[in-house]
Amino acid sequence: MLKPTWNTYLASYRTLLIVGNVLFIVGDTFSASAMAYHLTKFKSRPPASRPRRIDVLLNRLLIFAVATGALTSCVILHLFFDRGVLDGGDVSH
The distance from CA 30 to its chain's CA centroid, rounded to whole angstroms, is 9
pTM of the model: 0.61
The whole-angstrom distance between residue 14's C-alpha and the CA centroid of its chain comes to 20
pLDDT band at 13, cuts 50/70/90? confident
Cα–Cα dist 65/61, whole Å: 6
**Amino acid letter at 34?**
A
Would you say the C-alpha torsion 17, 19, 22, 24 has a positive or negative sign? negative
Structure confidence by residue, pLDDT tens digits, 36-72: 888 888 777 776 667 778 888 888 888 888 888 778 7
